[in-house]
C-alpha cells in the first residue's frame, strides 16, 4: 500500500510540474508550439500575437490576441483567416477518450477569405505528405483512426466574408455575425448568419443533416433559407464541398429593387410588369463554375406569369439563355418610372397635341446579356397590343435586338427585327415586313389617323435617335412601301367631288392603293401614290410630318370616263395637323386646268373662222392649216392659166 501511495504521489507531482511549467511558460513559447502542431497537421502557417492563455479542466482552452491562418499556396498572400482575438475550448474528458468535442470557438472581427480556382478550394486542409515507413503497405504508415468531432458553439462577431472565384471577388460582406452548432455526430449542423444592410438585415439559416459526409466531399442534403429586406430565398436539395447544388428553390420578392439593394446590387431598376414583385419556383442546379440551370420554372412577375426554363451564368452583368411561355403578357406600363425623392425638378409634361417629351428610361437594357425566346398569346406594350407572337430577344451590352418569327399586330403578321441601343444614348431602328395588317388600326394607333382603312402589306426600314418619343419621331430616317387592297377613305366623297351625284355618304371606296416613301429628319415624303377605283384613278404626292404630326399632301383623282373618255381631274389638298386636317379641292389647280381648256377652245374657234373665210375667198373647203397652202397654189395656177389664155387670145 505504501508503494501505491508513493507511485500516486510521484504521478501527481509530475503532472503538477508539467502543468506548472506550461502555466509559467511565456505566451510566445506556447504560441510557437501550437503553430508547429498546426503546420504539421494542415501545412498552413499559424501566427499568434500577444499572450497565449491556457485553461485545462474541465475545458482545455486557449485564448490569444491577433491571429492569422495562412492561405493555400496557390491562393496568394492574403490569409485565409485573421482575427483580432481568438478563443478555443475543448472538452478535456472527451479528448482523454480520443474524441474532439469543441465547446467553443469565439473570434472578434474575423476576416474569412474563401477562394476557388480551376477546381481547387482553399478551405480543403491537408497535412504534408508523410515519410514512408518500412514494413507498411505502400511504404506509408497507416493513419490513426480519428475519434468523434463535434462543435457546441461557434461565434464570429463583426466578421468579414470574402469569396473570390478565379481571381475575381464575387462577394465581399462585412459586419456579419455567424453562429453555428453541431452538438452530436449524428445531429445536423445548424448555422445562422446575420448582416446589417440598408433597410434592415440579411439573415441566413442553414442546415446540413450529415456534416461528416459533407466534410468528406460526399453529396449531402442541404436546407437554406435567406431573409432580406424585400423578400426571401429558399433552397431544399443537395450540396457538395465545392458548393455545387441541386434541388428546388423558391424566391419571393415583395420589393425586388429593395431586395437587390440588400444583396449588394444597388441602383437596379425593375420595369413594371417584369418583377417589381416576384414569386419564382424552379428545380435549380448550380455548378462550381457559376452556372445556374432552372427547369420546370414558374415565375409570377407582377401580373405576368411565365413558365419555361433558363440557364444563367453569374457574372456582371448576368448571362441568360431562356425559353419562356407567357400566355397574356402585359408590359403596357414598362416605361413608367417611380418619382425620385428629393428631386426638385419635376419631369417635363408631354405636349398637349404631340409626342411625349418624357425621358425614356432604357436602363433595363443593361440588366443582363443573353438570348430569351418568348411565345405568348398576346403582348401589351405602351400604345399597342400584339396578338399571338413568337419572339427572340437578344441582349448585348445595353443593346437589344427583337426578332419576330412572326409577331401578330393589327390583325396581321410582322417579321423582321427591331433594335434598341442605349450604349451611347438611345437609338431605335428596324427592318420589318408586314402582311395582312389592318391599316386603320395601325394608323390610328401609330399616328392618330382614322380616315383610311383597308388590309395592307409593306416594308419599313427606320432609324431614330433621342431620349424621348418626341426626339425620336423628329429624327426618323429610312424608307418603305405600302400595298393596300380594297379599302375606304372616310371624310370626303370622291363621286360628289367630281360632280357625279350624291355619292356614297361621305366615303370613297377604292380597289387598290400602292406607294413608296422615304423619311428624313422626321418627315415622310411620297411622290408615287396610286389609287385605283371603278371609274377613277387617283395620284398622290406630298409630305407627312412624323415628328410635327402634320401633313401637306396633294391627292389628285381623275374621272376616267368624263370628257369623252379624256378624263377630268380635281386635285384635293390635305393640309394641317393630324388631329384635324383640312381636306378640300385645290381650286388653284382646277382653275389652271380650266383655263388651259378655255384657251384651247378659243384657239380652235379662231382657226375655224379663218378656215371658213379663206375657203370662201378661195372657193374651196378648208379644214386645217395645211390645206390653205394647197388651196392658194391651186388658185394661183388657175388665175395664171386664165391670164395666159387672154394674153394669147384664147377664151
C-alpha cell at 592: 389652271
Length of the chain: 651
pLDDT of residue 579: 79
CA–CA separation, 400 and 520 (whole Å): 24
Residue 484: pLDDT band (50, 70, 90) is very high
Rg (CA), the chain: 46
Backbone angles phi, psi at 166, to 5 degrees: 50, 45
> Considering only CA atoms, which of 173, 172, 179, 177 is closest in space to residue 194?
177
C-alpha cell at 228: 432580406
- Indicate the range of 57-66, 264-273, 506-515, 637-646 predicted with least confidence: 637-646
> Considering only CA atoms, which of 366, 345, 353, 153 is closest in space to residue 271?
366
pLDDT > 70: percent of the chain: 68
CA–CA separation, 563 and 449 (whole Å): 35
Say if residue 563's pLDDT is above 60.
no
How confident is the model over 407-438, as pLDDT tens digits? 999 989 999 999 999 999 999 999 999 999 99
Q: Are 379 and 306 in contact (CB under 8 A)?
A: no
Q: Stretch 501-510: mean pLDDT, rounded?
A: 61
CA–CA separation, 582 and 563 (whole Å): 29
Q: Are 474 and 547 in contact (CB under 8 A)?
A: yes
How confident is the model over 632-645, as pLDDT tens digits? 556 545 655 454 44
pLDDT of residue 133: 44
- Indicate the range of 124-128, 429-433, 467-471, 538-542 predicted with least confidence: 124-128
How confident is the model over 597-649, as pLDDT tens digits? 454 555 566 566 655 665 665 566 655 655 555 655 565 456 554 544 444 44
341: DSSP letter: T
Peptide bond into 258 cis (omega under 30): no
Say if residue 586's pLDDT is above 90.
no
**What does the H/E/C string look like for 357-371?**
CCCCCCHHHHCCEEE
pLDDT of residue 292: 92
User: Taking the CB of residue 374, how many other CB atoms lie within 10 A of it?
Assistant: 19
pLDDT > 90: percent of the chain: 30
How confident is the model over 436-463, as pLDDT tens digits? 999 888 888 877 777 788 999 999 999 9
Say if residue 341's pLDDT is above 70.
no
pLDDT of residue 236: 95
Q: How far is CA 426 from the centre of its chain?
A: 14
More confident residue, 4 or 117: 117
CA–CA separation, 266 and 243 (whole Å): 26
CA–CA separation, 546 and 468 (whole Å): 14
pLDDT of residue 649: 43
Say if residue 61's pLDDT is above 90.
no
Amino acid at each position: 500500500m505504501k508503494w501505491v501511495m508513493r507511485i500516486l504521489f510521484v504521478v501527481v507531482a509530475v503532472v503538477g510540474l508539467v502543468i506548472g511549467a506550461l502555466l509559467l511558460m511565456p505566451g510566445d513559447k506556447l504560441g510557437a508550439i501550437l503553430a508547429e502542431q498546426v503546420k504539421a497537421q494542415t501545412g498552413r502557417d499559424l501566427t499568434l500575437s500577444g499572450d497565449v492563455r491556457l485553461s485545462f479542466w474541465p475545458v482545455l482552452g486557449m485564448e490569444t490576441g491577433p491571429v492569422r491562418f495562412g492561405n493555400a499556396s496557390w491562393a496568394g498572400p492574403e490569409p485565409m483567416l485573421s482575427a483580432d482575438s481568438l478563443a478555443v475550448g475543448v472538452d478535456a474528458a472527451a479528448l482523454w477518450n480520443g474524441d474532439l468535442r469543441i465547446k467553443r470557438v469565439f473570434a472578434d472581427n474575423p476576416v474569412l477569405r474563401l477562394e476557388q480556382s480551376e477546381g481547387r478550394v482553399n478551405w480543403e486542409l491537408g497535412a504534408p505528405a508523410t515519410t514512408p515507413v518500412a514494413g507498411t503497405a505502400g511504404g506509408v504508415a497507416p493513419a490513426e483512426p480519428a475519434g468523434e468531432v463535434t462543435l457546441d458553439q461557434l461565434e464570429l462577431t463583426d466578421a468579414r466574408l470574402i469569396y473570390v472565384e478565379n481571381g475575381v471577388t464575387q462577394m465581399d460582406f462585412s459586419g456579419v455575425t455567424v453562429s453555428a452548432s453541431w452538438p452530436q455526430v449524428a445531429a445536423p449542423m445548424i448555422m445562422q448568419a446575420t448582416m446589417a444592410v440598408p433597410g434592415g438585415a440579411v439573415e441566413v439559416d442553414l442546415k446540413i443533416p450529415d456534416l461528416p459526409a459533407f466534410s468528406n466531399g460526399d453529396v449531402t442534403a442541404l436546407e437554406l433559407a435567406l431573409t432580406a429586406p424585400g423578400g426571401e430565398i429558399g433552397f431544399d436539395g443537395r450540396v457538395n464541398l465545392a458548393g455545387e447544388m441541386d434541388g428546388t428553390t423558391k424566391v419571393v420578392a415583395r420589393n425586388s429593387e429593395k431586395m437587390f439593394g440588400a444583396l449588394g446590387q444597388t441602383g437596379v431598376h425593375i420595369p413594371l410588369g417584369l418583377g417589381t414583385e416576384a414569386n419564382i419556383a424552379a428545380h435549380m442546379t448550380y455548378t462550381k463554375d457559376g452556372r445556374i440551370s432552372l427547369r420546370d420554372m414558374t415565375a409570377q412577375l407582377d401580373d405576368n406569369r411565365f413558365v419555361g426554363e433558363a440557364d444563367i451564368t453569374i457574372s456582371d452583368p448576368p448571362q441568360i439563355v431562356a425559353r419562356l411561355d407567357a400566355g397574356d403578357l402585359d408590359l403596357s406600363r414598362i416605361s413608367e418610372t417611380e418619382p425620385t425623392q428629393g428631386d426638385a425638378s419635376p419631369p417635363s409634361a408631354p405636349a398637349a397635341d404631340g409626342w411625349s417629351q418624357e425621358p425614356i428610361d432604357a436602363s433595363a437594357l443593361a440588366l443582363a446579356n443573353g438570348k430569351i425566346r418568348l411565345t405568348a398569346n398576346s403582348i401589351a406594350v405602351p400604345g399597342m397590343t400584339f396578338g399571338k407572337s413568337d419572339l427572340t430577344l437578344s441582349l448585348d451590352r445595353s443593346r437589344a435586338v427583337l426578332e419576330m418569327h412572326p409577331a401578330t399586330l393589327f390583325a396581321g403578321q410582322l417579321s423582321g427585327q427591331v433594335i434598341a441601343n442605349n450604349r451611347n444614348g438611345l437609338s431605335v431602328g428596324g427592318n420589318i415586313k408586314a402582311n395582312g395588317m389592318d391599316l386603320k388600326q395601325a394608323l390610328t394607333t401609330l399616328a392618330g389617323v382614322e380616315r383610311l382603312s383597308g388590309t395592307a402589306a409593306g416594308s419599313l426600314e427606320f432609324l431614330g435617335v433621342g431620349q424621348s418619343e418626341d426626339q425620336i419621331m423628329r429624327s426618323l430616317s429610312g424608307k418603305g412601301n405600302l400595298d393596300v387592297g380594297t379599302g375606304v377613305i372616310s371624310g370626303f366623297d370622291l363621286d360628289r367631288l367630281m360632280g357625279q351625284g350624291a355619292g356614297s355618304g361621305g366615303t370613297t371606296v377604292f380597289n387598290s392603293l400602292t406607294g413608296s416613301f422615304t423619311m428624313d429628319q422626321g418627315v415622310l415624303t411620297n411622290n408615287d401614290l396610286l389609287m385605283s377605283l371603278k371609274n377613277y384613278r387617283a395620284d398622290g404626292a406630298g409630305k407627312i410630318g412624323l415628328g410635327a404630326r402634320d401633313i401637306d399632301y396633294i391627292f389628285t383623282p381623275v374621272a376616267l370616263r368624263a370628257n369623252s373618255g379624256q378624263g377630268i381631274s380635281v386635285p384635293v389638298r390635305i393640309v394641317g395637323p393630324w388631329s384635324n386636317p383640312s381636306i378640300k379641292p385645290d381650286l388653284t389647280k382646277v382653275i389652271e386646268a380650266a383655263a388651259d381648256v378655255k384657251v384651247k377652245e378659243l384657239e380652235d374657234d379662231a382657226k375655224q373662222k379663218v378656215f371658213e373665210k379663206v375657203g370662201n375667198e378661195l372657193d374651196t373647203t378648208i379644214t386645217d392649216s395645211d390645206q390653205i397652202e394647197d388651196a392658194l397654189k391651186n388658185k394661183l395656177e388657175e388665175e395664171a392659166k386664165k391670164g395666159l389664155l387672154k394674153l394669147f387670145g384664147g377664151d
